[in-house]
C-alpha cells in the first residue's frame, strides 16, 4: 500500500482516522495505530511482516536484558545479540546474493544465491530498531517495558516504508503521551496534501517523461542534450518522489500527535557538496553521524583518522542504498567531492559568485544521480560519455518530443526546488493582519492540490515510489 494509492486515500486513511479519534485514551489509540500499521505493511508483505515483529521482539528482550544486566560485558552481549538479529535479516535479503556473486568473481568460481524478494522498508525499520537498542545501552533513553509501544515505534505506518528514519529518543515520550488538536490536524493534512501533489503532479510526471527519453544501454545513440535531459529528469523525479513521501509522513505524524524531524531542506539550492548533504536525506545522515561516525572517533583523532571515518560512512551510505557496485561508487563519489570541498580555502570559495557555486553543485548532483541510476556499468559509461561528447549529436528526436510534451511540468519542477513560497509566507507572516488570510488560503490551496492529485491518480496508472527498493 502506498500513500498515493486510491485504496489508502479513500479507504485506509479515513477508516484509520475515524477509529483513532473516537478512541478515548492513548492506550486505545496506540492499539488502533499498531493494528493499522501492521495491516498497512502486510498489505504488500503479508509474510514479511512477521520478520519485522520478530526483530522488534528480540530487541525488546535485549533492551530488558541490557537494563537488568549489572556488568558492562553482559550488556555488550545483549547489544550484540540485538544488532546481529536486526542486521541478519537485512544482510540475508539485501546483500547475500551480491556478496556471494562478488566473491565468486574475485575467486573466479561460480557462486550464486537467490534470496526472496526484498521486504519493503527493511533498511529503514532495521535502522530504527538499532537506534533503540544502542541508545538503551548508552543509557540515553530508558528501556521500554511495554512491547506494544516499541512495536508501535518500529511499525508506525507514516514513516515505516521510506522514512524519515526516526530515532527512538525523538518520539519516546509521544508513545506514552501525545495530544492532537484541530490546528495540528489541519497543519498535518495540509503538509500531507502538498506532499501528495509533489508526488503525483511532479515526481510521477518527471518519471513518465524519463521513460520517453533515450537512456544508456539501448541501441540508439545518446545525444548531448538527451543525456543531460535524462539526468535532469531523474534528478527531479528522485527528489520529488522521496521528499514527497517525507512530507506526507511528517504530515500524517502531526495529525496523529507525533513530531518527525525534517528530512529535506531544498537540497538543490546548496552552494557546496557539504551543504547538499546537510539538506538531503537528513535523517540518514544523522543516523550515520550518531551511530557510525562519532563512535569511530569522529574528528577527534587527527586528520587521517577523520578522513578514514568519513570514508567508512560514505561507503556504508552507498551500500545502504542497494546491493550493487554503482551505489558504492556513488557513495565514494560524494566522499571525494566533500574532501575536495573541505580542502578548498574559504577565501577561494567566497570569491566565487553564489550563483556559480549553486549551479556547479547542482550539476555535480546530476552526475551523481546518473551513477545512482545505472546498475549496468556499460549503460552508465554510455550515458556519462554522451554527457560530454557530441557523438550522438546535440539533441535527439525523443528528447525534443519530451521537451515539447513535458516542458511546462519540467519548468514547474525546477521552480519548486526553490523555497520561494516559505520565504513569501515568512515575510507576510510578519504582518498580523495577513496571518488569518495566509492560513486559510494555504489550507484551501492544499485541499485543492489534494483533490487534483486524486483526480490525476484516477486517470493515470504510473505511480511508483522509487525509494521502496532501497
Q: Known catalytic residues?
A: 321
The answer to whether 470 and 95 have CB atoms below 8 angstroms apart is no
CB atoms under 10 Å from CB of 444, counted, come to 11
Grid cell at residue 285: 545522515
d(CA 145, CA 27): 14
Report the candidate in 151, 146, 187, 152 with the shortest Cα–Cα distance to residue 20.
152
d(CA 168, CA 67): 16
Measure Cα distances from 204 to 44, 185, 265, 384, 465 in Å: 21, 27, 21, 24, 9
Calculate Rg over the CA atoms of the chain.
23
CB atoms under 10 Å from CB of 241, counted, come to 23
Amino acid at each position: 500500500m502506498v500513500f498515493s494509492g486510491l485504496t489508502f486515500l479513500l479507504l485506509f486513511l479515513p477508516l484509520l482516522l475515524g477509529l483513532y479519534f473516537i478512541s478515548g485514551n492513548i492506550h486505545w489509540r496506540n492499539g488502533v495505530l499498531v493494528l493499522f500499521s501492521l495491516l498497512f505493511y502486510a498489505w504488500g508483505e503479508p509474510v514479511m511482516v512477521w520478520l519485522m515483529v520478530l526483530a522488534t521482539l528480540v530487541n525488546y528482550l535485549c533492551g530488558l536484558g541490557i537494563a537488568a544486566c549489572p556488568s558492562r560485558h553482559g550488556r555488550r552481549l545483549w547489544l550484540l545479540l540485538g544488532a546481529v538479529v536486526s542486521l541478519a535479516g537485512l544482510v540475508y535479503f539485501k546483500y547475500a546474493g551480491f556478496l556471494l556473486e562478488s566473491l565468486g568473481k574475485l575467486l573466479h568460481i561460480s557462486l550464486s544465491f537467490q534470496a526472496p524478494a526484498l521486504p519493503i522498508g527493511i533498511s529503514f525499520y532495521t535502522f530504527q530498531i538499532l537506534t533503540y537498542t544502542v541508545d538503551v545501552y548508552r543509557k540515553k533513553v530508558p528501556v521500554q517495558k511495554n512491547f506494544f509501544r516499541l512495536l508501535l515505534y518500529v511499525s508506525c505506518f507514516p514513516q515505516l516504508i521510506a522514512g524519515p528514519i526516526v530515532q527512538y529518543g525523538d518520539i519516546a515520550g509521544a508513545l506514552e503521551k501525545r495530544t492532537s488538536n484541530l490546528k495540528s490536524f489541519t497543519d498535518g493534512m495540509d503538509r500531507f496534501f502538498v506532499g501528495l501533489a509533489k508526488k503525483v503532479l511532479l515526481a510521477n510526471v518527471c518519471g513518465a517523461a524519463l521513460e520517453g527519453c533515450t537512456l544508456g544501454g539501448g541501441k540508439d545513440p545518446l545525444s548531448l542534450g538527451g543525456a543531460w535531459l535524462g539526468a535532469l529528469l531523474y534528478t527531479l523525479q528522485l527528489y520529488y518522489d522521496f521528499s514527497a513521501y517525507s512530507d506526507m509522513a511528517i504530515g500524517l505524524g502531526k495529525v496523529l500527535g507525533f513530531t518527525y524531524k525534517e528530512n529535506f531542506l531544498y537540497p538543490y539550492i546548496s552552494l557546496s557538496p557539504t551543504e547538499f548533504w546537510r539538506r538531503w536525506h537528513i535523517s540518514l545522515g544523522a543516523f550515520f553521524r550518531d551511530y557510525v561516525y562519532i563512535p569511530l572517533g569522529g574528528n577527534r583523532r587527527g586528520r587521517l583518522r577523520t578522513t578514514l571515518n568519513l570514508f567508512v560512512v560514505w561507503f556504508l551510505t552507498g551500500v545502504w542504498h542497494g546491493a550493487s557496485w554503482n551505489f558504492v561508487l556513488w557513495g565514494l563519489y560524494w566522499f571525494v567531492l566533500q574532501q575536495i570541498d573541505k580542502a578548498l580555502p574559504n577565501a577561494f570559495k567566497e570569491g566565487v559568485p553564489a550563483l556559480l557555486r549553486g549551479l556547479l553543485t547542482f550539476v555535480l548532483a546530476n552526475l551523481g544521480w546518473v551513477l545512482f541510476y545505472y546498475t549496468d556499468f556499460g549503460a552508465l559509461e554510455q550515458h556519462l560519455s554522451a554527457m560530454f561528447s557530441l557523438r550522438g549529436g546535440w539533441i535527439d528526436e525523443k528528447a525534443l518530443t519530451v521537451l515539447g510534451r513535458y516542458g511546462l511540468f519540467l519548468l514547474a519542477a525546477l521552480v519548486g526546488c526553490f523555497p520561494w513560497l516559505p520565504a513569501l509566507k515568512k515575510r507576510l507572516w510578519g504582518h498580523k493582519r495577513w496571518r488569518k488570510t495566509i492560513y486559510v488560503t494555504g489550507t484551501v490551496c492544499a485541499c485543492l492540490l489534494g483533490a487534483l492529485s486524486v483526480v490525476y491518480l484516477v486517470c493515470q496508472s504510473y505511480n511508483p515510489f522509487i525509494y521502496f527498493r532501497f
